[in-house]
Structure 1
Amino acid sequence: MTTATTTVTGMAVTGTEPAPSSPPAASTLMRLMWLASPALPVGGFSYSEGLEAAVEAGQVHDEASAARWVHDQLRLGLGRADLPLVAQAFGAWQAHDLPRVAALNDWVRCTRESSEFRQQTEQMGRSLHDWLRQRTPGDERVAFLGQLAPAPTWPVAFALAALHAGAAAREALIACAFGWAENMVQAALKAVPLGQSAGQRMLGQAVEAIGPVVDAALATPDDARQAFTPMLAILSAQHEAQYSRLFRS
């Protein structure tokens, strides 16, 4: 267990071996790259997800500590909560199981451990719904996404966007995880701060970890999905009132 693991949750996690997967078609791959891109107009780049507060507290202070932070948050946060939920929402959208979609959306909102985290998932969910609505105005599932109260959440919206891209579930989760990792590395470059070469090394480490994390998420049943990162929640709550901030709260 690393220091950053204890900082985020105080718990360890196990993974599974990656499953074989056929490569996506070129058009699908490009649409997934679009969804994972920081240029997607959903504002993901404007959040640090507790990292800026961790820098302020001295818990993240160099490349090594920033890399551990991203890696542990990927495994213990995203890999246990958002990625399993994206997989389950993907299946629900595919089956047109709208009550299931609504229940998953409620789970995301109820398990966000700070006001900042809840605002982030709702704001990004609304923005992705607007993007989808302009591209696929006739899809009743997109209309249903916009009707989720009080707002659609990011993982649920991303699952529908990935389905529209023509992706399989595993490809959708890889795109979601990589987009998150790229935003987090960019946040570290600004907040620590770090240089571009350090950022590329950090992103390379995240890329190596994403496959096993995604495969574990795909194998996670409903009753094993969890959102339990108490120290991360405390840092996020502290960030809401942090005196000087680069990132949104």
Structure 2
Amino acid sequence: MRTTTSTEAVSPALSPASLLHLIWLASPALPVGGFSYSEGLEAAIDAGLVTGEAQAADWLVEQLHLTLARSDLAVMAQTLRAWRRGDTSRVCALNSWLLQTRESAELRLQTEQMGRSLREWLRHLPGADAAALDFAATLEPSYPVMYALCAAGPTGAQAEQAGERDVLLAYAFGWAENMMQAALKAVPLGQTSGQRILARLAAEIPTAVEHALQLPDEERQAYSPMLAILSSRHETQYSRLFRS
């Protein structure tokens, strides 16, 4: 059951600089290779499970609620808190959980590659937290864990920090844009269809984020058997556009 009750208080409005930083992180233009993955959607299309706009939208909405909200977004909310309080053992545990629960080789390789790329992007930004980056260099970082570090912002009592809800909304919308573009290429669909799919996802994202914000460790899960089967098949699919 989906709920809209959150454990986080309403965040104050972000400054223009902080808002732009979140928009930057969510951009498909960020050099992490997100455009090269379909997260099983291409395999679903090849199997005849997704054949048009309505089915693509339905598929992505279910993926948002069944996988992203219950796994990546929930991990990100908790990792964001851990980065901000310097709890590296917690960061390590959350990163390990996420890597171990990837249900196919290609899905694990995706999060590892995007995590490494985001770590390198952050390394070259002025003002990056050197100590956190040094610790991140000891990990095989998953993408959500590195995204949380990039979004964590400065430390200190007077420093402005984006609220957890804002960070998760930005991440989810960036995911939605990438997945919409994957649908356009693989179904294929036109740009207007893509915008309708994106509108559908944007309407669902707040509910998914609220759900993720409430999930304790014992309620997080990564169980999507059909997606795992499709992703495994995709690894040897004869003709494909995407790496996952």
TM interval, short-chain normalised: over 0.9
Match of 1:78 in 2: 68
Match of 1:15 in 2: 3
Residues 196-230 of structure 1, C-alpha deviation per residue, up to 9 Å, x if partnerless? 00100110111111111101111111110110011
| 2:11/2:163 contact within 8 Å kept | no
Looking at structure 1, the residues matched to 86 and 107 of structure 2 have their Cα atoms a distance apart, in angstroms, of 28
- Give the match's secondary structure for 2:86: coil
- Give the match's secondary structure for 2:70: coil
2:40 is aligned with what amino acid?
A: G
Match of 2:131 in 1: 140
- TM-score for the superposition, normalised by structure 2: 0.93
- Is 1:163 aligned to 2:158, yes or no? no
The Cα of 1:248 is off from its aligned counterpart by 1.2
The Cα of 1:143 is off from its aligned counterpart by 1.4
2:150 is aligned with what amino acid?
A: A
Alignment of 1:182-221 (within 5 A): 182-221=177-216
Overall identity of the aligned pairs, in %: 56
Query: Structure 1: which 5+ runs fail to align?
Result: 1-12
Match of 1:178 in 2: 173
| 2:22/2:170 contact within 8 Å kept | yes
- Give the match's secondary structure for 2:17: helix
Looking at structure 2, the residues matched to 183 and 77 of structure 1 have their Cα atoms a distance apart, in angstroms, of 16
**1:98 aligned residue (69, 88, 96):** 88
Looking at structure 2, the residues matched to 164 and 187 of structure 1 have their Cα atoms a distance apart, in angstroms, of 30
CA RMSD of aligned residues (A): 1.4
- TM-score for the superposition, normalised by structure 1: 0.91
Query: Structure 2: which 5+ runs fail to align?
Result: 155-160
- Is 1:57 aligned to 2:47, yes or no? yes
Looking at structure 1, the residues matched to 128 and 179 of structure 2 have their Cα atoms a distance apart, in angstroms, of 32
- Give the match's secondary structure for 2:237: coil
Residues 166-224 of structure 1, C-alpha deviation per residue, up to 9 Å, x if partnerless? 42111110111011010000000000001100100110111111111101111111110
